[in-house]
Structure formats: C-alpha cells, structure tokens
Structure 1
C-alpha cells in the first residue's frame, strides 16, 4: 500500500516509521509546540492522547509534567513524574525534575528525598553523586556534602564542576584556603571565566584584595562581556571598598546600578560607601531608592537608620530601626542601634532596656556596657556605673593584658576621677598579682 501510494524509498519509509515510534506518533512534538505557544491545555491533551496510544511512555509523562509545571499545576506535574519513575526507576531526569519542583515550593527536604531514592539505585553514578552532595550542601549539611564530594572526585576527577562544587561547600564551611585550592584544581582542568570569578570571591573573603582583583581581570580577559555584568561590577566595588578606594567603589556600584537598576542590594552597597565617606544625603537617597524597589529589605532600613543617626535625625532613625526589628525580630545589632538613638534622645531608661536586650543575646558586647555606664553615671548611680565600666574592660579584648585594661579605664572620657579609680581598684582586685607582674 505504501509503495503504491508514494514515491518514497523503502529506506525512507523505515526512517519515517522510526520517527513515528520515537516521537509517539508525533504527540510529544505536538505537545512541545503547544508548550512553546503557551497553550498548556492543548499541550497536556496532546500528551494525554499519546499516552492512550503508548501507555507508560516515560517521555510523554516527562513532557506532560513539564507542561503542567509551566501551567502552574505543580501537583499534577509531580504525579506525572512519580508515574515516570514507576515506569522506569533508573531514568534520572524524572528524579531531578521532581526535586526541582520541590525546591520551587521551598521544600529542600523533599527534594533531597527524591534524589536519595535515585542515589540508592545508582550510588556509583557521578551525576547522581553530584546531585546528592548538592542536596546536603543546600540543607547546610556540609560534612555529609564533603564526604559525598570526596566520593564524587574518586569516581570522576576530570570534571571542573566537581571541584567548584567542593569549593562552594568549603566556602559555606568557611574553610577558605581549602576552597581556594579546590578552585585551583578546577582551573587546571578549565581556564574558565566563572571559575576565576569564584576564586576572586574566595580571595576577597580572605582579605587578599589585590589578588582578588587580578582574578576578576582574568575573568574579563576570558569573557570581555563579563566586564559589563552586574556581578563583575559589584564584585570589583566590594574589593575597592575593602581597599579604601571609595571613589572607584562608588563608580563600580554606579555602573552596576545602570546595568541592573531593579536590584536594591546595589543601592545598599553604594549607600554604604556614601555613609563611610560622610556623603550622608547621597546615602540617604540611595537607601530610599532601594526601599522603593523592595519595601521589605531589612538591611536598607538598618543602614538608613545609621545615616539618620549620623545626621542627628533621631525620630527617623528610630522609625527605621523599629521597622528593621519588625522584619528581623530580636536582632542584637538593631537593639544596639536603638539604644544609641534613645540615649542621644535622652530616653535613658528605654536605652538601658535596649542595651540589656543586646547583652541578653551577646553577654560579651563591650560597648553596651560602656553606654550603660554612662547612663548610670548621669543618673548618679555610681555603683552601677563602676560595675559596667569593669564589665566593659573585661570584654574589650580577651587577649589584652590586664595592665592595658587598666590604662583603658583611666583614659575614659565622661566620668569623674573617683568613679574611674573605683573601677580600676575593682578590676585590680579581680586580676590580683597579674597586674603587677604585667
């Protein structure tokens, strides 16, 4: 019948028949076209008709799950992925897509459960091992993540991605020298721009700013377009800021804002530079611009409260720090800022409460004791003032010799001599002969 009705060769007919089978009578291709057009209902129907003709076809379950996910019907998408896993328990794409959907819902534990099922079936697969290590990393289980990455590198030591994964885990564990070594190992396999960029970040975290800047320049030499990317611009801004090169930092952040004007963090970075260089009005403007983009950005309220405090605008400083505390309840740094504001605004009892909140979270916070000492001194509570001066000196620096702590007390401003002498006497009694030996 075919030969009588067409001019195709027998080989062409066999090719066409193979294509029919591989695409499930073209239902998978039709479903994909509808997906690309955003016609999700028609796409799901096409995949369903394919499944009627080819029951249990994993590719059709995967395609329909993709359509359901794009359509926002995540429950149905997950059901199809579970059906795909049932049909072929060793098809890794089903597990990976299921894990991705759980991550979209913010359920990292369920994502890890899905990958763990696959890992139990394919424990020697480098790809599966990589994903399992990634799950532990995302859940903050860094020791387990490193253990699996060790195994991964035994299975596959020639893929730079495996070393960059190791670096990510070590960065999270704050083992920065080891992270740097892992990235050097990755660079031996692939002299890639993104690896140089990550190494720059690791060097920056270690305070190796000049080396970090050189790594950024290497990244740009390999990918010239990276020089215009907000990531590069922000990273160079961070490095210049650490080096105290404020004009260059501000310029880098300004370029980053032009490249990505909808990113409130960039406004925060530049506002921080303006604050440090006492360009308070410009810092205030950047904080406000960032909050217009994201009214729930706690860091910008904190920074703006600091700027208002520097401008002696205590009312606005207080409003912003209280807004920050709404977003970040119990934050000791915010209570310290609030205590400073209340102290400047002559609300001493409220300031004491704020500093007590700091000390309940961080008992060794020296500056809170000093503020309390000033308040008690001004309230003529000399005994409390003396004790808080002593507490301040004790927590100044654990490695500081006792004699240096005595000198620190003696040079304090804002107290009369009798209070300082009593504080020195009390501290000397606590240290005993160590003072004189020193």
Structure 2
C-alpha cells in the first residue's frame, strides 16, 4: 500500500483513537498528540496498533509536517496549534469527515440542540429490527472511524454535534435529521447564535436532490433559516401543529407519516416514550425508517417497545409514592424545558452546574406551575437563585449529590416527582453528565 503521508490526530479520546486506527489501516503514518493526559485504556490500544503518541504537549515541528490533521471535537479552532496549521494550509478535518472517506455506507445523520440522542437510538432500533445491517456512531458508542476500520457496515446512523459538523468538507448523509435549534455552546461560536445555526445546517451542505432532509417544522429558527437559505435536498418536515403533505403530522391523536401518498398511521398513546418532544423524535426516526423501506408493522412495533435513553427522563425508582427521575443529560435550558413540561404533578427540581450562558426566563411559567422546591447542585448557584427566587419559596443549596437527594427525600410528599434536570454542564462537581446521573441513581437507591 502506498504511503499516504502523515496523519496527525489532535486529542486521544474516542474519536481520536478511532481515527488513528483507521489512518494506520489506510496507509498513513500516524502521530497522536494530546495536550492533556491519555487514559491507560487508550494508551494500550495505541500500543497494540503500534501508533506513535505523546501526551501533555503538542510537538509543533512534528505536527506542522502533517499532510492532514484530525482535530477532536472538544478542541476549539482558536487554539494556537490549529491556527498555525490553518495558516500553513494543512487540512484540518473532523473524525466524521475522515471516516466517511473510507466507507461506501448509506448514512442517516442526526443533529439538533436536543433530541438527537433519543432520535439516533430510536432510528437505529427500528432500522436494525427492520433487518438492516447497521451501525450506530458519532456522539454515541464506539467512534465512526473505529467502526469503519474494524467492522464497517452498509448503513450507519450517526449522532452529530455542531463541533463534529464544523470539521466536514465532503461528508454527506443520505438522510439528514434536524430536531431543534436553541442557543447552546455559544462560548464556542463567538456568542453569536447565527454562527451556531449555520453550524447545525452544515449537515445538509453537500446533499443533492437525491437526498432527504427531515426537520422540525415547529421550530421557528429552522423554518426561518430554510426560507432565507434554500437547500437542494428533498424536504420532509414534521409538526405537532400543522398538517403536512409530505412528512409527518398529528391528526386526531394519531401520528401520520406520508411520503408520496404512502401512509403510516400510529396512535400517539401507544408510544413507549412520553412527552411531546418524544412524539417529534418518534416522527423523525419513523420517517427515516419509512424512507429506507422498513415495513410499517415493524416501525409501529418498535415505537411501542422503545423505552428511551439512560439519563434522559429516566424513571429510577418510586419510593413512598414519590417518583425519582434522572434527566442528567439535560445540559441546557431547552432540554430542561421539555423535562418540566413532561411533569404531570408537583415537582422538586434539582438544578445547577456549569452555566453555559443560560437564559432561564423561558422556564418561569413551568416553574411557577409545577415546581414546589428547588435544590441547587453546583459550586456557584447565584444565577439560579436570582432567576427563581420570586417563583419558588423553598430554594436549598447543596454541594454533593447525596445531600441533594437526601433533602429532596425530606421535602417530597406523596405523588410528587423528584427531578434531576440540571440545565447546565456537569464539570464543576462531576466527570460528565453520565457520572452525575449515575451518582443520582445510586443516591436514590440508598434512600
């Protein structure tokens, strides 16, 4: 195999190590460089594949010799080494872009500020049950690059963040899904919402008339962008409020999915997942499945049987008739809006963490209506206390998950909910949102 030059991988997490494995397989010299420390398990993988690596530094004279660089999604474009590479005209791509060059798979790509994980897992569940040989990757599970290298499949469903989409050049999903766009990660987009919107829409940038774009027609941001920036792919909107000719809508409490006079009808009350946001996620996943010729009965059965994602409105336990709910994956205000909206009874809300520039005003009416007490779980809770001091009489500050759950237990009465839905990132007190969610579940089980 002809040597393809030097592939430098910046960041040795899941996407970085996966890219290194694929690069090696495809005939690149590979060098992995991480400014932080590399976990032992990833070091072992790199050694097994005989891939050169360094940690706690970036050796510039080596990195700048690269023919191509894969930058992990967590590294901003503004960092010095990336700026030097760009100045030297070295292509800097995302793992999604790099991996897509070495597979002929048909891809369903899913992005959005909220709902993308549930929609990705649900689409994968339906398509797999429908008989497709399909892998799931992106923000979820083993990296796309690693799967292309070691067990490629004819179909993929990919959960894609805006950071992953920022680094694409030619990547094109046959079916693209956009669930919602609300302000998130604005610290990475110069605090400009328009930059973030454009980033999400990169998912359709290489689509043609032969591809499909499934999108939320109730999201004003998406609808406005499409009016101002027409795209080439075939549009299949979904909506809870409007009747739609080609796409999905609600009529008499039924989901109707209609594409070229071919119709699927499914009662919303038979969905395993509750809440309006999950009706939309189901519409999006089912529309994609319909396009890929999955039988109607399979789609219906899967929607009735799919019970959702860990750390997303996950019912943990009922103790003394109080339901404890883990929504640790709600790392922004919009996700928490959906969670509070889904609460059917009085709620004790555990909230807080690292604020990403949150505007809490859109939660006021829901908090007034549903929340009887707020338990803050963060190092700095002043913004939450200022925002909701006039809505809720009882606001308590805590620094550990155990304290938060113990206080919730004392405050809760029969038929209440205790909801962990932080609306913030987790890095002040926890490793990540999974760690936060698991600690919540452990604390509840110990009550």
TM-score relative to the length of structure 2: 0.31
Which of the two has greater strand per residue?
A: 2
Which of the two has greater helix per residue?
A: 1
| Largest Rg, 1 or 2 | 1
- Choose between structure 1 and 2 for higher RCO, CA contacts under 8 A separated by at least 6 residues: 2
